[in-house]
Structure 1
Amino acid sequence: MIEEFNLTDKSESESCLNDNTNIEKFETDEARLFQYPKLFSSKILLELCTSSWSRSSNARNDIQPYLRGCKWSPDGTCCLTVVNNDGVHVTELPKDLYTGSVHPERTIDVLDSVIHIKEAGLIYDFCWYPGMNSHIPESCCWITTRQNAPVQMWDAFDGSLRCSYRGFNAVDEMEPALSVTFNTDGTKIVAGYKKFLRTFDVERPGRDFGEHKINSPASCLATDRNLLAVGSWNTSISLFNMSESGTFKSIGKMHGHSGGVTHIKFTPDGLKLVSGARKDHRLLVWDIRYYRRPLNILSRVVDTNQRIYFDISPCGKYLVTGGTDGVIKVWDIDRIKWTNSVDLTDDLKDNSTYRFPLHSDCCNSISIHPLRPILATGSGQYHFNDPISVLEDVPMDVDDVKPFDNDVSIESDKKYSSNAENSLVFWWIGDIPNIT
């Protein structure tokens, strides 16, 4: 968060600004000065930076600090991560990655958190302020909602708590929001609760809010212009028209998932919506104009109730998702029309353009950089302890019992593993020069 990305080369930009004869041309061509880079052109991902978390030696076995989400800031200077039992971390992007390309022999940076907020309780959701700019300190903030706490806004420079937005129920009890997001222009906060959607004015923290009743808990939210999509644990997705005053008008509902919806996201053009659910191996692509059935069904591996994030590139050409198998899947709209041509006869068919086995553990977090060809991935999940290992430590008569076979699992649904990988990794997904 120390400086903003330059959209053009510094010397070129200064020469245009200083030459009065080129000012008019510079203003005319300003919209095309920055062109989003081509992604996955080398078909090789180069590891740039890494950061990891591990349980302290004196902590209980059920204390496991695994990642539960990562999101790039809107200006691309830093990455916000939520770590289970360890609060929120902010990690800055190294300065040498702001411009230019990378060399295949580049040394991998080990990153430290510049801000660490040790929040107690389970963090349900988090979101950057959409107008965040490192040159404007008052715009550098994010909001979180967690267990037994209101919606809180945090300063991205010093990690201090700026203000809170509190929602109260009918008996005047403060209740936590399950999901939270900003509207497109960042003037209002939309928070999803078990029975209500509540809208807060960003400039008026406290308990003043607008309220709209819903029939099922709002597990995740997504906004685009005047549209609001609300995912629920009852497997449905609701569409609302959101007015400037914060009122909602229902448009319709979409059904298709077999589990509770955990993540939804609009495409950059605002015409399509992608959704994912718990214990559901499908990503559904919807056309919000004809939402009765999905446009396409994409496959990934989701074997747990954990939220598995996906992301869409700012250019709208790439859809990237993780999975509980640690494999990153990429759909390129130029190669595979992932936004249409649904095949209902085989909804588990893998038609992804690229597959990258990047992690040995669950890859639950995906975030594409807003300006650079850099992908942030986060890995980790809760690992259960095998109860059989406890019995193995108890002395037994070898004539009375057979040795346990470590390769045999008593229940196929339960997987016991001590190979945990709790890491945040930045990958280069653009052109790699001088590669052999």
Structure 2
Amino acid sequence: MEETLMETDVLETITKDVEDSLVSEPIITATEDVLFQYPTLFSGRTLLELCNSSWSSSPKSKDVQPYLRGCKWSPDGTCCLSVVNNDGVHITELPRDLYSESATANRTIDVLDSVIHVKEAGLVYDFCWYPSMNSSIPETCCWLTTRQNAPIQMWDAFDGSLRCTYRGFNPVDEMEPAVTTAFTLDGARIIAGYKKVLRTFDVERPGRDCAEHKISFPASCLALDSNIIAVGSWNTTISLFNVNEMGTYKSIGKMHGHSGGVTHMKFTPDGLKLVSGARKDHRLLVWDIRYYRKPLNILNRIMDTNQRVYFDVSPCGKYLVTGGTDGILKVWDVDNVNWKSALDVTDVERDNVTFKFPLHKDCCNSVSIHPFRPILATGSGQYHIKDPIQDEDGTEINGLSEDLKYSCHPENSLVFWWIGDVPELPL
């Protein structure tokens, strides 16, 4: 990252000035022992584009599609980590004026360049930030990736160098890649999901030393909260485990409800609810982990792809935000639509979303809400199959492509949006 992120006053500036830029009806949140007021989101019902970054295919390799496959804000809010298909990992910095100032209607849209680009070969399965990442403490600035035919890798967020690896081996002593990985909340351990086992690594001891817990299903995604771990699987189930201080796993139970392999899960800030999504499943399921036998609520989004499509829950726990293959951003506000409450079987509409924003002309595959500021990062793109009824120059052959609908408008972009109040715009 640039030298600006190494200045010690970055987080102090964010914390101090965020108090001066609040809107009405704030929510009190505690972070790093400093009380501050979390801003109200979507109150103006308007999204203002702040900056963007995009990727396009190289003329020499037209078959390589560099579409975005996920984006996540850093825990300190200074930069955004994104994975691009066939183009590795990128870090994009938040413009410094957005650390403290509010957006204006006449603000110039910034075109952002990646400050760090790690050209990883192969398909990146999963990635995550170190939970205590702080730009003023360089040793905490790192992230994990797990990818095809490679061990879990820890990368330095200042220069993009490889710090260390964590390797899992199968019974015949062959190194196998993890499908999903995550830090524990205290950042002391790494939990990785494989085809038939969960492995726990000590962050301070890279290499192959780990504790193993056998499972009977392939792990596809993880969600952690305190001592509870949710493990999603390609077999459509979600398993809950309790982990004690010694790292021993105790099975709590399984949750059934999805029609496809589970691709993403997230706990609400209170740790009592779990939201899950699956591939080619138009439903987001909300679970109460205390009574997990059936979903507490069902929310709808358009999901016509096997690709992982991320959703996010705001740090205040009030908003659930997701994209979809139709490019529309959906927002549920718990004050207007109680998406945490029990399912109303008399609701024939079923799509009780609070807001809809048509942001992208391609699949909106990832959303990430800034930890301190009213800023939303969205990523777009998906794999596009070439129409077999067209010539190389794109012209139709005999006009037979009427029944084969292939998108001809790919959009591979990372966009930052202002989701707070804009003084110049009417409510």
Q: TM above 0.5, one fold?
A: yes
| Structure 2: 5+ residue stretches without partners | 21-31
Structure 2 counterpart of 1:7, one-letter code: T
Q: Residues 142 and 389 from structure 1, CA distance in 2 versus in 1: closer, same or farther, beyond 3 angstroms? A: same
Map 1:98-247 → 2, pairs under 5 A: 98-247=99-248
Alpha-carbon displacement from aligned partner over 1:192-250 (angstroms, at most 9, x marks no partner): 00000000000000000000000111100010011100000000000001122222110
1:35 to 17, 34, 37: 37
Q: Which residue pairs with 2:343 in the alignment?
A: 342
1:403 to 393, 398, 413: 398
Report which stretch shifted further, 344-353 or 288-297. 344-353
Q: Which residue pairs with 1:325 in the alignment?
A: 326
2:15 to 3, 7, 14: 7
Alpha-carbon displacement from aligned partner over 1:159-206 (angstroms, at most 9, x marks no partner): 000000000010000000000001110000000000000000000000
TM normalised by structure 1 equals 0.90
The count of aligned residue pairs is 408
Shift, 1:405, TM fit: 5.2
| Distance (Å, rounded) in 2 between the aligned partners of 1:355 and 1:255 | 28
Q: Residues 347 and 322 from structure 1, CA distance in 2 versus in 1: closer, same or farther, beyond 3 angstroms? A: farther
Shift, 1:7, TM fit: 1.2
Shift, 1:409, TM fit: 1.5
Q: Is the Cα–Cα contact under 8 Å of residues 18 and 100 in structure 2 kept in the other structure? A: no
Residue 419 (structure 2) pairs with residue 429 (structure 1)? yes
Runs of 4+ in 1 over 6 A off after TM superposition: 345-348, 391-395
3-state SS of 2:14 partner: coil
| Distance (Å, rounded) in 2 between the aligned partners of 1:78 and 1:334 | 30
Shift, 1:358, TM fit: 0.2
Q: Which residue pairs with 1:54 in the alignment?
A: 56
Shift, 1:100, TM fit: 2.5
Residue 312 (structure 2) pairs with residue 311 (structure 1)? yes
| Distance (Å, rounded) in 2 between the aligned partners of 1:207 and 1:129 | 20
Q: Is the Cα–Cα contact under 8 Å of residues 220 and 263 in structure 1 kept in the other structure? A: yes
| Distance (Å, rounded) in 1 between the aligned partners of 2:125 and 2:168 | 15
| Distance (Å, rounded) in 1 between the aligned partners of 2:244 and 2:93 | 36
Structure 1 counterpart of 2:424, one-letter code: N
Structure 2 counterpart of 1:433, one-letter code: P
Shift, 1:417, TM fit: 2.0
Larger Rg: 1
Structure 1 counterpart of 2:61, one-letter code: A
Structure 1 counterpart of 2:425, one-letter code: I
| Distance (Å, rounded) in 1 between the aligned partners of 2:203 and 2:94 | 28
3-state SS of 1:382 partner: coil
Q: Residues 364 and 393 from structure 1, CA distance in 2 versus in 1: closer, same or farther, beyond 3 angstroms? A: closer
Q: Residues 152 and 391 from structure 1, CA distance in 2 versus in 1: closer, same or farther, beyond 3 angstroms? A: closer
Q: Residues 311 and 171 from structure 1, CA distance in 2 versus in 1: closer, same or farther, beyond 3 angstroms? A: same
3-state SS of 2:186 partner: coil
Shift, 1:290, TM fit: 0.3
| Distance (Å, rounded) in 2 between the aligned partners of 1:76 and 1:89 | 15
| Structure 1: 5+ residue stretches without partners | 13-29, 396-401
Q: Is the Cα–Cα contact under 8 Å of residues 18 and 372 in structure 2 kept in the other structure? A: no
| Distance (Å, rounded) in 2 between the aligned partners of 1:277 and 1:347 | 23
Q: Which residue pairs with 1:416 in the alignment?
A: 406
Q: Residues 345 and 386 from structure 1, CA distance in 2 versus in 1: closer, same or farther, beyond 3 angstroms? A: farther
Q: Is the Cα–Cα contact under 8 Å of residues 129 and 142 in structure 2 kept in the other structure? A: yes
| Distance (Å, rounded) in 1 between the aligned partners of 2:420 and 2:139 | 32
3-state SS of 1:212 partner: strand
Q: Residues 391 and 359 from structure 1, CA distance in 2 versus in 1: closer, same or farther, beyond 3 angstroms? A: closer
Q: Which residue pairs with 1:83 in the alignment?
A: 84
| Distance (Å, rounded) in 2 between the aligned partners of 1:347 and 1:292 | 23
Shift, 1:335, TM fit: 0.6
Q: Residues 57 and 393 from structure 1, CA distance in 2 versus in 1: closer, same or farther, beyond 3 angstroms? A: closer
Alpha-carbon displacement from aligned partner over 1:375-427 (angstroms, at most 9, x marks no partner): 000000000011110399899xxxxxx93155x124xxxx3122100000000
Shift, 1:82, TM fit: 0.2
RMSD of aligned residue pairs (Cα, Å): 2.1
Shift, 1:343, TM fit: 3.3
Q: Is the Cα–Cα contact under 8 Å of residues 182 and 188 in structure 1 kept in the other structure? A: yes
Structure 2 counterpart of 1:37, one-letter code: P
Shift, 1:434, TM fit: 1.8
Map 1:267-306 → 2, pairs under 5 A: 267-306=268-307
Structure 1 counterpart of 2:44, one-letter code: S
Determine what percentage of the aligned residue pairs are the same residue.
Answer: 71
Q: Is the Cα–Cα contact under 8 Å of residues 298 and 347 in structure 1 kept in the other structure? A: no
Structure 2 counterpart of 1:409, one-letter code: D
Q: Is the Cα–Cα contact under 8 Å of residues 299 and 348 in structure 1 kept in the other structure? A: no
Q: Which residue pairs with 1:249 in the alignment?
A: 250
Q: Residues 281 and 175 from structure 1, CA distance in 2 versus in 1: closer, same or farther, beyond 3 angstroms? A: same
Alpha-carbon displacement from aligned partner over 1:84-124 (angstroms, at most 9, x marks no partner): 00000000000000013111000000000000000000000
Q: Residues 170 and 344 from structure 1, CA distance in 2 versus in 1: closer, same or farther, beyond 3 angstroms? A: farther
Q: Which residue pairs with 2:370 in the alignment?
A: 369
Structure 2 counterpart of 1:242, one-letter code: V
Alpha-carbon displacement from aligned partner over 1:298-322 (angstroms, at most 9, x marks no partner): 0000001010100000000000000
Q: Is the Cα–Cα contact under 8 Å of residues 8 and 33 in structure 1 kept in the other structure? A: no
Alpha-carbon displacement from aligned partner over 1:21-56 (angstroms, at most 9, x marks no partner): xxxxxxxxx967410000001100000000000000
